[in-house]
């Protein structure tokens, strides 16, 4: 891995070598302003596909998975849509010994929580995501969500968070609700519909996009899907890393 942007002061960052996890963590240090910070991490092929065969894994690679793991360990909570949970077979986030000291110093639990965004709560509450988490799983839904499924979620040990007045979730309310529960550092892992809603609501602070050196063709959509915004949101690059042809970009609003 090597840094392309900004031009590195440390010659070690410009050499093609495997970075230590601590170096990746410094490169992706998670901001934590009082109102919280929501970053998204997505992977895309060169021709814009967000998945191949319904899953993102075929577009990934070793360095992408290392960054994926570090971003999780820097977060208080991982926000993900229900469809992505079903397609990717989500499990609880793991405790990693390499990050235990840093997480404890930051006042974080030993593993980040998973927050599932779901309107209908059509989830398998017997799955490990709900039965085996180190940190209780959250379910974000609307005030009019099916009462029987809300009750099932609570019986399974999930914390149900109402983040919308109707049947679904208001993307603008996700971060305030998470911050209220002590989760100011949030990482969104998609899917495209959830990310599109966050963009339309102006709720996304940062995008970490891994660009895979692959062509997927097919009918896969973009990393975001949803209502068109009045004007495209402007982001500025913070860093660009390269490894084995992959580009790992980090953009924030205002270049924060």
Q: 166-216, pLDDT tens digit by residue?
A: 989 999 999 999 999 999 999 999 999 999 999 999 999 999 999 999 999
Measure Cα distances from 102 to 30, 39, 74, 184 in Å.
12, 19, 9, 16
Q: What is the pLDDT of residue 58?
A: 87
Average pLDDT over residues 250-256: 80
**84-123 residue pLDDT tens:** 999 889 999 999 999 999 999 999 999 999 999 999 999 9
What pLDDT sits at residue 20?
95
CB 42 within 8 A of CB 50: yes
* Residue 254 confidence (pLDDT) above 80: no
Is the pLDDT at 227 greater than 90, yes or no?
no
Report whether pLDDT(34) > 70.
Answer: yes
Residue 151: the pLDDT is 97
Convert the pLDDT of each residue in 45-56 to its tens digit. Answer: 999 999 888 788
Choose the CATH number for 24-255 among 3.40.430.10, 3.40.50.720, 3.40.640.10, 3.20.20.60.
3.40.430.10
> Is residue 153 classed as helix, strand or coil in its secondary structure?
helix
Sheet of 159-162, strand order? 2-5, 236-243, 246-252, 206-211, 37-44, 185-188, 77-81, 113-117, 138-141, 159-162
Q: Average pLDDT of the chain?
A: 94
Question: Can you give the pTM of this predicted structure?
Answer: 0.94
Token output for 78: 């991982």
Mean pLDDT throughout 232-254? 95
Per-residue pLDDT, averaged over 9-20, amounts to 91
Residue whose C-alpha is closest to residue 231's, from 200, 188, 197: 200
The vertex-55 CA angle with 98 and 22, nearest 5°, equals 20
Provide the pLDDT confidence category of residue 225 given band limits of 50, 70 and 90: very high
Cα–Cα dist 7/59, whole Å:
27
DSSP state of 120: S
User: How high is the pLDDT of residue 185?
Assistant: 97
pLDDT of residue 159: 97
Percentage of the chain lying above the pLDDT 90 cut = 85
Q: What per-residue confidence (pLDDT) applies to 4?
A: 96
Q: What is the largest CA-CA distance in the chain?
A: 59
**Residue boundaries of the structural domains of the chain:** 24-255
């Amino acid at each position: 891995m090597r840094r392309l942007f900004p031009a590195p002061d440390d010659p070690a960052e410009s050499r093609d070598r495997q970075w230590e996890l601590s170096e990746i963590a410094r490169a992706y240090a998670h901001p934590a302003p009082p109102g919280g910070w929501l970053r998204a991490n997505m992977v895309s092929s060169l021709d814009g596909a967000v998945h191949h065969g319904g899953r993102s894994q075929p577009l990934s690679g070793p360095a992408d998975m290392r960054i994926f793991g570090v971003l999780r360990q820097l977060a208080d909570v991982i926000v993900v849509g229900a469809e992505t949970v079903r397609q990717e077979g989500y499990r609880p986030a793991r405790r990693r010994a390499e990050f235990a000291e840093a997480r404890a110093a930051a006042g974080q639990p030993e593993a980040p929580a998973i927050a599932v965004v779901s309107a209908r709560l059509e989830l398998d509450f017997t799955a490990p995501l709900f039965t085996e988490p180190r940190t209780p799983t959250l379910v974000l839904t609307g005030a009019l969500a099916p009462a029987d499924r809300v009750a099932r979620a609570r019986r399974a040990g999930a914390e149900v968070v109402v983040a919308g007045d109707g049947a679904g979730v208001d993307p603008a309310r996700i971060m305030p609700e998470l911050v209220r529960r002590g989760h100011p550092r949030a990482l969104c892992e998609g899917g495209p519909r959830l990310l599109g809603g966050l963009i339309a609501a102006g709720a996304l602070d940062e995008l970490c996009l891994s660009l895979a050196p692959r062509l997927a063709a097919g009918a896969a959509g973009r990393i975001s899907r949803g209502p068109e915004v009045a004007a495209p949101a402007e982001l500025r690059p913070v860093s660009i890393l390269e490894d084995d042809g992959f580009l790992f970009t980090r953009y924030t609003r205002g270049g924060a």
